[in-house]
């Protein structure tokens, strides 16, 4: 019996049209650029996005090409995020006429000081609001004699808290990482002859130039820039060393709400949008073994809205969404799995 050759199937009008369309796209000349925050744990999203974009201009990547793209992206994402939470990757691509597409992936970043310095150049003042934080102001006002209530503020910015406290009579030391903020604060203090000592450095470098008799240590909108629990531990150790017995440290921090457990992607993206996330367990562990007791835990949204002077709420246009965690999770405020909280710890001995 003779095997007869099978006749090939007639191509349909649709397959013919599809083949022509594929050729049509390879006759395009393409170039583009994509800039995204560096969030290493979202690697699948970067790869999927590139695959979709490249395929849409007629340069569909095969599995080997996608694997190489993933490897390149992973390296640049890791380098960028390790350098700074204010980091991004830039994907540039171009394709001449034909089936080939060329791409590059480059990491870019700013230091924290550079990022905030850029705020002074690109944003209209007041950068953080006009009034001092109600929580910090209320704690300081519990002292019957301001002159005996020495304050250390870490990350004072342009002086929204430090200047009013000094005007009230508190001796104030500040440690500021951003030179431009420190310059603005120093100029304002000198103009009014206020008792403010300005120290420009990373607060974790040393405590030798700090006192050990502060009655109040304050950090407003600073801990959301922390990168890990080691920094939290460093802050509690600083408080234990520099507070007088009975003195208090107050700071705002994003805490996971309810039973929410942030994954690595949420933590990384949170850092990119000034919203580092911690859990209550991490907070307690960071303070463990130190002579510090948690004495207050308040919602920043509720406390500030209720206690700021009339007309001062919200302090800025971005404040309500940010403190509610909506810069990370754009959901209804009551559904947000994180919230900015005021925590107050007291030195017990």
Q: Cα 115 from chain centroid? A: 11
DSSP state of 182: H
Classify domain 112-347 by CATH number.
Answer: 3.40.50.150
What's the average model confidence in pLDDT over 75-100? 95
Distance (Å, rounded) from C-alpha 141 to C-alpha 184? 25
Q: Is residue 218 within 8 Å of residue 153, measured between CB atoms?
A: yes
| CA pair distance 152, 174, nearest whole angstrom | 6
Identify whether the C-beta of residue 248 lies closer than 8 Å to the C-beta of residue 295. yes
Q: What percent of the chain has a predicted confidence (pLDDT) above 70?
A: 97
Query: Closest by alpha carbon to 136, among 222, 36, 10, 42?
Result: 222
**Is the preceding peptide bond at 181 cis, omega within 30 degrees of 0?**
no
> How far is Cα 149 from Cα 247, in angstroms, rounded to an integer?
9
- Rounded CA-CA distance 192/168 in Å is 12
Ranges 23-32, 47-56, 99-108, 272-281: which has the least confidence: 23-32
Residue 11: band (very low, low, confident or very high) from pLDDT cuts 50, 70, 90: confident
The stretch 264-285 carries a mean pLDDT of 97
- pLDDT at res. 113: 77
Taking residues 322-331, what's their average pLDDT? Answer: 98
Tell me the per-residue pLDDT of 304-320, one tens digit each, with 9 for 90 and over.
Answer: 999 999 999 999 999 99
Domain spans in the chain, listed from the N-terminal domain onward:
25-109, 112-347
* Angle, in degrees to the nearest 10, between helices 179-192 and 112-122: 60
Rounded CA separation 256/278 (Å): 6
pLDDT, position 16: 84
């Amino acid at each position: 019996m003779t095997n007869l050759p099978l006749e090939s199937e007639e191509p349909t009008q649709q397959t013919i049209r599809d083949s022509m369309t594929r050729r049509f796209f390879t006759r395009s000349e393409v170039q583009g650029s994509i800039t995204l925050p560096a969030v290493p744990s979202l690697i699948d999203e970067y790869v999927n996005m590139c695959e979709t974009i490249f395929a849409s201009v007629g340069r569909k990547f095969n599995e080997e090409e996608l694997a190489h793209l993933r490897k390149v992206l992973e390296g640049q994402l890791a380098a960028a995020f390790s350098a700074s939470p204010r980091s991004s990757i830039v994907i540039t691509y171009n394709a001449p006429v034909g089936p080939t597409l060329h791409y590059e992936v480059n990491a870019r970043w700013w230091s924290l000081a550079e990022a905030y310095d850029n705020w002074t150049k690109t944003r209209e003042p007041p950068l953080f609001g006009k009034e001092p934080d109600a929580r910090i102001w209320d704690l300081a006002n519990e002292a019957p004699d301001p002159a005996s209530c020495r304050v250390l503020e870490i990350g004072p910015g342009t002086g929204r808290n430090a200047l009013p406290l000094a005007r009230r009579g508190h001796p104030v030391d500040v440690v500021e990482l951003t030179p431009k903020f420190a310059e603005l604060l120093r100029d304002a203090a000198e103009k009014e002859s206020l008792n403010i000592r300005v120290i420009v450095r990373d607060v974790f470098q040393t405590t030798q130039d700090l006192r050990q008799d502060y009655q109040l240590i304050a950090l407003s909108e600073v801990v959301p820039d922390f990168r890990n629990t080691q920094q939290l531990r460093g802050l509690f150790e600083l408080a234990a060393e520099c507070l007088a017995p009975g003195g208090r440290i107050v700071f705002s921090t994003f805490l996971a709400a309810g039973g929410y457990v942030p994954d690595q992607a949420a933590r990384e993206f949170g850092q990119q949008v000034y919203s580092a996330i911690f859990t209550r367990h991490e907070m307690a562990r960071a303070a463990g073994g130190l002579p510090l007791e948690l004495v207050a835990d308040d919602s920043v949204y509720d406390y500030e809205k209720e206690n700021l002077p009339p007309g001062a709420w919200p302090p800025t246009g971005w404040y309500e969404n940010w403190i509610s965690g909506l810069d990370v999770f754009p959901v209804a405020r009551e559904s947000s799995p994180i919230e900015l909280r005021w925590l107050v710890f007291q030195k017990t001995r």
